[in-house]
Amino acid sequence: MGISDLADGLTRRIEGLGSSVSESLFEPVIRLGVTGLSRAGKTVFITSLVANLLDRGRMPALTGQSRIRAAFLQPQPDDTVPRFAYESHLAALTGPDPHWPEGTGAVSQLRLSFRVQPGGLLAGMRGMRTVHLDIVDYPGEWLLDLGLMEKSYRQWADEAFARLSTRPGGADYLALARQTDPDQRHDEPVADRLAQGFTAYLHSAKDAGFSDCSPGRFLLPGEKAGSPALTFAPLPPSASPRGSLAREMERRYDAYKREIVRPFFRDHFARIDRQVVLVDVLSAIHAGPAALEDLRQTMADILTAFRPGRASWLTSLIGGHRVERILFAATKADHLHHSQHARLANITQALLREARDRADFAGAETQALAIAALRATTEADISQGETVLPAVRGRLPDGRNVALYPGELPDDPAQLLSSARRGREDWLARDYSIMDFAPAPLALRPGDGPPHIRLDRAAEFLLGDRL
């Protein structure tokens, strides 16, 4: 390396320093985390939020918006984090043949920057300021892994076995585990078969409506798929001598926590300022009481992450940083007539009660809303004899245009949640199961983003004070 290379390296480092100093002093960055379980609606939410922040015609409730002079996408600042594929997701939703994009499978990020005119007394005295919004998309399943951090392999495996006996798909894995001698010498094909069997069970449990299916990376492996740290499974208690299968499983479980879970919390989670947690409450209500109760417990577990006081290793990672605001958003509200939206928000609030109490405990401000990031329906009345049912109309994936009445949500959320603990009851009409509306073809006016329900209220809560 020559002197000029050295000098070059030095100037560049100083420049780099300069830009980070000026950025942190004059150009504030808001890091907005977007999470939720698989299919909760993260990808659609981010795509529509960004489109509606770029073209703000449909964002009247975002108070700062009158001061935004320009909004534009920038290369995202973290070189090693995949960029959120905004353009292709938007093309899927708003192109000539609109369809839903592929959902979130791993962490990704996008930077949106605003040029904002200062308001108030300083309005005339200061020039434009720039505010960066870094949106971080990550699977809620990964937050569930927080629960593993303080469990040993044995504790985790014992709990996994207790669930296996009561959940769909569990019997096959139990049989496989019982046929396997945990004290046999470690053998990769055997480990692989066990890990695959356990993953297959997690998928069946998930398909049957169970939400808590950790380890989170088994369902959504991200780029680490196939690595030893993801190739383990629970085995019954044994002596686990050196070199045995059981010993290796335990080692890999520890590697999973150390090499996968911890870095995720350190690199992504620890830096978030504002958080939106998307919850598909309607699908859980439709799937039945057990699924709703499971969702309630899972959300409580997920949100433990926002009360870091409980986990000392997490507190040390996060330091003094904390999430200031958390929005709980029930998604796909366009599946219901607007007369039901308040009930949906109340149910969401009640469902997350325990979880919210924990997050509130950490000093974060919280709110619950019923939203649709992309409105795929219009409202319609269905006449049935004397009565008129408040329904929604939309296009099914097979192209049929139908009006459906999904039934009525109870006024009192306690009614739903307490019967969720007791047993089977049908809350939403059978119509609900075919509510798989495709996005509607759009003809957007210039300046308008895609149609939504209360996305502007969500944005106001999450960002309004910072714009």
Per CB under 6 A, does 341 bind ligand GDP?
Answer: no
Using CB under 6 A, pick the residue from 331, 340, 348, 366 that binds ligand GDP: 331
332 binds ligand GDP (CB under 6 A): yes
Judged by CB under 6 A, the stretch of 146-154, 175-183, 369-377, 409-417 that binds ligand GDP is: 369-377
Q: Report the DSSP pairing between strands 68-74 and 108-116.
A: antiparallel
107 counts as binding ligand GDP under rule CB under 6 A: no
For residue 2, how many other CB atoms are within 10 A of its CB? Answer: 7
**Whole-number Å distance between alpha carbons of 413 and 314:** 33
Q: Which residues contact 403 (CB under 8 A, 6 or more apart)?
A: 380, 382, 391, 392, 393
Q: How far is the CB of 211 from ligand GDP (least distance, A)?
A: 13
Pick the binder of ligand GDP from 42, 56, 111, 454 (CB under 6 A). 42
H helices, E strands: number in the chain: 18, 10
Among 273, 334, 431, 456, binds ligand GDP (CB under 6 A): 334
Q: Is 296 in the site for ligand GDP (CB under 6 A)?
A: no
First to last CA, the chain: 46
Instruction: At 42, list the tokens.
Output: 């993260």
Work out how close the CB of 354 gets to ligand GDP at its nearest, in angstroms, rounded to a whole number.
22
Asked if residue 395 binds ligand GDP (CB under 6 A), the reply is: no
Contacting ligand GDP within 418-437 (CB under 6 A): 437
Per CB under 6 A, the list member of 36, 182, 222, 289 interacting with ligand GDP is 36
Distances (CA, A) of 188 to 68, 185, 222: 57, 10, 21
Told to check if 457 binds ligand GDP by CB under 6 A, we report: no
Asked if the bond preceding 75 is cis, omega within 30° of 0, the reply is no
Whether 204 contacts 279, CB under 8 Å: no
| Residue closest to ligand GDP, measured at CB | 103
Binding mask 245-264 for ligand GDP (x = CB under 6 A): --------------------
Could you give the CA distance from residue 243 to residue 308 in angstroms, rounded to a whole number? 37
In whole angstroms, what is the distance from residue 203 CA to residue 54 CA?
37
Write the burial class of residue 438 (CB in 10 Å: 0-12 exposed, 13-18 middle, 19+ buried). Answer: middle
x/- mask, ligand GDP, residues 65-104, rule CB under 6 A, reads -----------------------------------x--xx
Give the interface with ligand GDP as residue ranges (CB under 6 A).
36, 38-44, 100, 103-104, 331-332, 334-335, 372-374, 376, 437
